[in-house]
Structure 1
């Protein structure tokens, strides 16, 4: 009968499969799991409340969503696309090259300026699409548009992941040092690890340039057909 306490997992699987409200599914799963485990409803609600309060900082990111909705409502995407369309010789690859450098530099300095929701979707993506359309000289196909979306998301990930360890006090560097010290490398310092990460960040930016500029070449060939 102990397996009955796993019913919460089943509720989550079914709820997600039916595309029900995520928050409601998780809450219902938690309540049901607590009740079948022998707890009363008051105890379950107390645990849920304590968990929410202790992790309340994790919900701050929700404030971002209405802000993004407001700036999109007032035409940020359209203005960004319009401005980039006025730049001579603009292309999606060039826009993404610039962003890869900026994003990597920001990560290396532990400055959080990026993010898929708050930066790429409302700003970098429409700029890249407008630049690609300008370079091609005609409307983008659905396949080309989807490829630009993937590239914009990829550049964000590259800059964030491969450059963050350049900052000596980042959590990743601390974790690496702790692991290495535990394995017997007592002389390994944070600065040694972060300085090694510089090469990885530079290689990442170089390969990003190759990927996005190759997309530009394909776009020009397609536009000339």
Structure 2
């Protein structure tokens, strides 16, 4: 049971808001040492995992591309698009994105979205623009309160994370499903088929969609109570413009 101290370290590190990469690395090393694995074997495991996961280095390609398209106004264009659609609120935009993310992940398209390539340059600016339109903050020198903007950022990321996490297990060939089946077969001698896991993941994914989708739809009400800016009328907009 002492090897579970690594899990406790992760919980404590995240609660103290220490760098997640450092927390996970230290927790892994501590768990391995408690489990009787030597330093060289630990280093070998880290090296093998890094070399075997080529996706670790994809940030070297993604970040310059995101920076380039943002430089040429991707966020501004996304905000301008949403500002003309009256029916879309912040919560509805994020709920719609979560559904799309979960459905696409369920059919194996797990890499078409993500915090870096989708949430930051597209989803968050659109959600933020919807709230700015609701508050009438299209006047120069006015912006969302910091707490409101941070709340939208958090829910934008959560819509992507929840959609991916509960959607990818429906796809039988995803790595997490294959890891579960191989672990159960190796350690417990049970025959567990990937299709069974995928089928049981469907009702779990539906529940996750309903629960977090409801939270996203209720976000609009939360933002109304958080906003310290009174929605602008035509008169106040004219006055602000002057």
State the TM-score, normalized to the length of structure 1: 0.71
Q: Does 1:79 align with 2:77?
A: yes
Find the aligned partners of 2:80 and 2:62 in 1 and give their Cα distance. Answer: 24
Task: Give 1:64's aligned residue.
Answer: 62
How many residues are paired up? 177
Task: Give 1:98's aligned residue.
Answer: 96
1:145, distance to aligned residue in structure 2 (A): 0.5
State the TM-score, normalized to the length of structure 2: 0.66
Task: Give 2:124's aligned residue.
Answer: 125
SS in 2 for 1:166: coil
Structure 2 counterpart of 1:142, from 124, 143, 146: 146
Q: Does 1:184 align with 2:189?
A: yes
Find the aligned partners of 1:211 and 1:60 in 2 and give their Cα distance. Answer: 32
CA RMSD of aligned residues (A): 2.7
Counterparts of 1:24-43 in structure 2, within 5 Å, are: none
1:56, distance to aligned residue in structure 2 (A): 9.2
Task: Give 1:173's aligned residue.
Answer: 177
Find the aligned partners of 1:210 and 1:56 in 2 and give their Cα distance. Answer: 35
1:205, distance to aligned residue in structure 2 (A): 1.2
Find the aligned partners of 2:211 and 2:91 in 1 and give their Cα distance. Answer: 12
Find the aligned partners of 2:58 and 2:102 in 1 and give their Cα distance. Answer: 24
Counterparts of 1:37-56 in structure 2, within 5 Å, are: none
Give unpaired runs (5+ residues) of structure 1.
1-49
Structure 1 counterpart of 2:223, from 206, 214, 219: 219
Determine which structure has more spread, i.e. the larger CA radius of gyration: 1
